[in-house]
Amino acid sequence: MATKTISKSVFNADQSWFYNEILSLEGKKLRIEVRRNAYEMQSHAKVELWGGTEWNQLYWLPGCQVKMKRSYVEKGITEADFADDRKELLRVAKALVTE
């Protein structure tokens, strides 16, 4: 079950690190977002499915379950820092989308 990345970005905004990716899976569009903030309650990881007019949430993890723990003041954050969260979100999305 191959995925194809359409766009991907890692950036710092609002005292948070963000990882955003839009990808194609089995002809469907998915969007992954991981936000790591200094506060657990302001952090999350989610994957959404494009429904033709809007993104619909498939799966969500609260900040306490987000594996990316780097601080927003740290430099040199890359997509590799978000790899564990991306892997988990994609695992669940594949199971839901291909049922």
Residue 77 has pLDDT above 80, yes or no: yes
**Averaged over 8-16, what is the pLDDT?**
94
**pTM score:** 0.93
Residue 51, classified by CB atoms within 10 Å of its CB into exposed (0-12), middle (13-18) or buried (19+), is exposed
At 99 the pLDDT is: 67
Query: What is the domain partition of the chain in residue ranges?
Result: 3-97
Q: Identify which has the larger pLDDT, 1 or 21.
A: 21
Measured in degrees and rounded to the nearest 5, phi and psi for residue 97 equal -75, -30
